[in-house]
Amino acid sequence: METDVALTSPKIVYSKGACYGECPVYNLTIYNTGLMKYNGIRYSSMIGKYEKQLTDVEYINLVKLFKDANIWKLDENYDMNIADLPTTTLSFSDKDKQKTMKTKSSFPPAVDVLEKQLLEMIKLDGWKQTDIPIVETVPKNEILIKNELIIKGTDQLILVRWLREYAEYEMKIVRRLGPDSPLWLVTFNQEKIDPDELIKKIKEDPSIATVEFNKKISNRD
């Protein structure tokens, strides 16, 4: 027979850490009872602490998805040497076993399916706020590098063709942010176009999923 502690222990924990930009920072915990707790810290769709109870069917199907993925044989860390990007953490517990995986880029396909399902759970209706949100501010020592962008393409992105489309701004690749990372650091001539105007233009580009200015940390006084 399971103890009260076992019945209320975390089954799945998913979190998104901070980056140098406006990355969503939050964590989602799903307990053995099917209770979900969400804590939105900054730049997330919900700010503050929320709770939602899954139905038995929703919970059983979610756990089955994790068990079928057979994550026990997978690595624990993926692209963790990329300093500029947030850390995504996913943990799953089953009886006496626990698996925690982290990435600063993207998970392998088997885990990517699980991550997408958790993101869908966050979008469900019926969340109830349990506290007054306290919004974290962005550190004041962050400095935008306005002639450098970090981009992530959609399935439509063909990088060589994309660079040609922005050739008038002297767009160039600096480097890929990790061997298998979907993120690229690019630079351009800000004398050719206002940086804010360019980033607005790129956000409307269907071949680009996300774009933000690169940043650096200044020395504190």
201 SS3 class: helix
CA dihedral 99, 102, 103, 106 (to 10 degrees): 30
Dump pLDDT digits (tens) for 137-171. Answer: 555 556 788 899 999 988 888 899 999 999 999 99
Fold of 142-217: Alpha-Beta Plaits (3.30.70)
CATH 3.30.1560.10 domain extents, the chain = 4-129
pLDDT of residue 179: 80
CB 214 within 8 A of CB 185: yes
**Which residues make beta-bridge pairs with 103?**
78, 88
Pairing of strands 172-176, 97-103: unpaired
Dump pLDDT digits (tens) for 179-214. Answer: 878 899 999 999 999 998 898 899 888 899 888 888
In the predicted model, is pLDDT for residue 56 greater than 50?
yes
pLDDT above 70 coverage of the chain, percent: 88
Segments of the chain assigned E as strands: 10-16, 25-31, 35-42, 48-53, 77-78, 88-94, 97-103, 128-129, 142-153, 172-176, 183-187, 208-217
Fold of 4-129: Mago nashi protein (3.30.1560)
pLDDT greater at residue 187 or residue 82? 187
CATH 3.30.70.80 domain extents, the chain = 142-217
Average pLDDT value for the chain: 86
pTM for the complete prediction?
A: 0.60
